[in-house]
Structure 1
Amino acid sequence: MLHTTLAQMAITALIVALLPLSMVWISKDVDKYRKLVWISVFLTFDLIVFGAFTRLTDSGLGCPDWPGCYGLANPFLAHEEIRAAEALMPTGPVTMVKAWIEMIHRYLAMGIGILIMAMMAVSWYRWKKGRDSGAGRAGYEPGYPTALFLFVCLQGAFGAWTVTLKLQPVIVTMHLLLGMGLLAMLAWLGGRQDQALRPMAAVGTPRTGLPGLRRLAVASGLVLLVQLFLGGWVSTNYATLACTEFPLCGGKLVPEMDFEHGFHLWRELGKTAAGHYLPFSALTAVHWVHRNFALVVVLVLGWTVARAWRFAPLRRIARGIAIVLVLQALTGVATIYLNFPLTIAVLHNAGAAALVLLLTMLNYRAKFLADAPAPH
């Protein structure tokens, strides 16, 4: 790839990042760093949703190379190559619309990367300035933003491998999980900045039950992580319509399933590890496990919500988790009954991201309340 192409892409990514950075700069917030963190949370949520749209519209290979499009900075410049590929295979993965969807997704990801770099630079600057002056520097410890930067680099690598390995299911699924992980890490940092600016009052909060709630909240996060993997595995293997009825599948509670091929991780899209076409029973197994594990998610997160409701500072987040959990169940069933409409499928992915965000906030606040000194 030419250096001019890389320079053009870098300039475009900077332009994408300039709008949120300008919003932070002109805002009247007392803590602009906190504003930057929460804008990054918002845009990362949007990126996950748009990533789902990219995947569900089969646009992941809209530009079949990385980081550019046919070695160029955008589909405008690669117009001839895209049109030639589209003429050769009109229903294939490369079209002008799909190329733009894919490149918009990449540029949004690059923009978020720049925001995280800015976050890291500000934290190091303020931390060093506070250390040199002897003033307090709480809330600007640079270790966490630096870890975020390394994490987003790893996420970018998986984004590249998603394209170069031609949508290999395990790579695409890991790309999704890392995106959710980035959202959780940013939300945790946002909670830390909220606490630094406006400490959450722990006075009057009952102490009994908090350690148990913390453990339950962590367990809920692990259960949700498993379900995110299963959901990503369904999506990346195109197994959403392997079962077209609910609660039965193929007219049975337990249909014929091939777990060995369905859950063999390292293989090409639509193929077994031996290179044969993936049997339908393998897709059924993938779908059926995700569907039934959803019941575990509802039970564990529902119990967590019920326990969190006892604590006034956690009640609002608990209510949010309960609402999103119900909507997730509804959109999941609607996806099956309505024959996989794009809008509902994207909303189902958005609901998963919302659960990650809310559960992270619940974990942070439960940790703070449990660690706060007991009132005398």
Structure 2
Amino acid sequence: MDSLLPLGQVAAIGGAVAIGPLLWWRQRSRASTSTGRLRALTALTLFLTFDLIVFGAFTRLTDSGLGCPDWPGCYSSASPVGAREHIEAAQAAMPTGPVTHGKAWIEMTHRYLASGVGLLILVMTVLSWRLKRLEHHDGQRERVPSPWLPTLTLVWVCVQGAFGALTVTMKLFPAIVTLHLLFGVGLLMLLPWQHEAYEPRPLAVPQTLRAAVVAVLVLAIIQVALGGWVSTNYAVLACDEFPTCHNGQWWPALDFAQGFQLWRELGHRAGGGFLSFEALAAIHMAHRIGAAIVFTAILGLAWLLRRHAPNWSRWLLAAAGWQLVTGLSNVVLDWPIVAALGHTAGAAMLLALLTTLLARLKKALP
């Protein structure tokens, strides 16, 4: 029971965080139809989920992932205020360590925001089932999308929360942290698909173009996974030059086998000992190669879209350009936090754009 108390308290704070957005949504969508209100709530949740992903990157980049080394509370308290003595003791023992007052607040703020997003998704799911039950009753003639997609989104965010817990309890285990990131962007992809279901706006394009969007989306997801692996293993500066990697070398000694041992502790090899520089450079170079492939694929997709959906072509080119600039800035400017956050935000935006585009191509021409 003691372990459930901080969970309930953190959830309550998350509920308080969600009250403001819910009140704003209720006020702004008062005159809308039922499906219009659900669509507006989905858009709001999508926006806040995007913000949550960026703040999650900020948490990782400031080394705040273990700012509170237990879960769901902070030293069994709902906030760092109640854990002040524990935090001060940890900070005194290791002033630049993982536990400080600032890092504890960053970590707990991330948990509060995640709880708030979870509550919004719960409200969205309940409303979608309620709307489905009311379909064709009391004179309602609105087209109501299936409530199973919001339900999947709710289950998904619960699993994402479980991986968030494992991220802390398993001390930033790289595979778990990367999966936590992937579930976060997966949640971001579910929401625009759901948003489009409430007001379909199909684009008439050849079927082959839809296949091209699917292919680019798959490549982008793989690239995000590689980016997560780079970040969680702190391999960004293993190659500190561009276009060369290190010491003027285009292709230095690389150890892909060691770098892509998935089940191991942070900074260590699976069989024991520290991860080598060659392994970190291999992780970085894999991401660079993936970036070149994805960038080329987006250029090709934008060219194919230029006649059927010119606006989408321009948006994808802008997203690809943003990723190129922020990615290069991470290397040549020694990984500044602004560039790193911009790179994460750009990756999330690119996946959201591709998912929305795919949702609108569901009724493609033969």
TM-score (normalised: structure 2): 0.95
Q: Confirm or deny that 1:219 pairs with 2:215.
A: yes
The corresponding residue for 1:22 is: 23
* Structure 2 residue corresponding to 1:286, chosen from 276, 283, 296: 283
Report if aligned partners of 1:126, 1:140 keep a CA contact under 8 Å in 2: no
Identify the residue that residue 324 of structure 1 maps to in structure 2.
319
Output the aligned Cα RMSD.
1.5
Residue 83 in structure 1 maps to residue 88 in structure 2: yes
1:246 to 231, 242, 245: 242
Contact in 1 for aligned 2:319/2:346 (Cα 8 Å): yes
Matched, 1:347 2:350: no
CA contact (8 A) 2:255 2:279 kept: yes
- Structure 2: which 5+ residue stretches go unaligned? none
Kept in 2: contact 1:14–1:111 (CA 8 A): yes
- TM-score norm. by structure 1 comes to 0.92
CA displacement at 1:180 relative to structure 2: 0.5
Would the aligned equivalents of 2:42 and 2:195 in 1 still touch at CA under 8 Å? yes
Q: Could you say which residue in structure 2 is the equivalent of 1:105?
A: 110
Give the percent of matched residue pairs that are identical in Structure 1 and Structure 2: 46
Counterpart in the other structure of 1:276: 273
Deviations 1:91-134 (A, max 9, x none): 11000000010011111111110001001000100101115558
Contact 2:255 2:282 in 1 (8 A): yes
Residue of structure 2 aligned with 1:236, choices 232, 235, 238: 232
Residue in structure 2 matched with residue 148 of structure 1 by the alignment = 153
Structure 1 residue runs of 4+, over 4 Å off? 131-135
What secondary structure, in the 3-state scheme, does the structure 1 residue paired with 2:68 have? coil
Bigger Cα displacement from structure 2, 356-365 vs 127-136: 127-136
Q: 2:70 aligns with which of 30, 55, 65?
A: 65
Letter in 1 for 2:227: G
- By how many angstroms is 1:241 displaced? 0.2
Aligned to 2:351: 356
Query: Which 10-residue stretch deviates more, 102-111 or 358-367?
Result: 358-367
Matched, 1:258 2:259: no
Distance across 1 between alignment mates of 2:170 and 2:365: 45
Could you give the per-residue CA deviations for residues 21-58 of structure 1, whole angstroms, max 9, x where no partner exists? 11111014522111100000000000110011100110
Q: 2:327·2:343 contact (CA, 8 Å) conserved in 1?
A: yes
Residue deviations 1:138-160 (CA, integer Å, cap 9, x gap): 23421111111111111111101
Paired with 2:291 and 2:334, the residues of 1 have a C-alpha distance of: 19
Q: Deviations over 1:232-262 (max 9, x none)?
A: 0000000000011011112222110011110
Deviations 1:208-236 (Å, cap 9, x if unpaired)?
Answer: xx201100000001100110011000000
* Equivalent of 1:124 in 114, 124, 129: 129
Name the SS of the counterpart of 1:241 in structure 2: helix
Q: Secondary structure at the match of 1:367?
A: coil
For structure 1, the 5+ residue unaligned runs are: 372-376
- One of 285, 304, 324 as aligned partner of 1:307: 304
* 2:179 is aligned with 1:174: yes
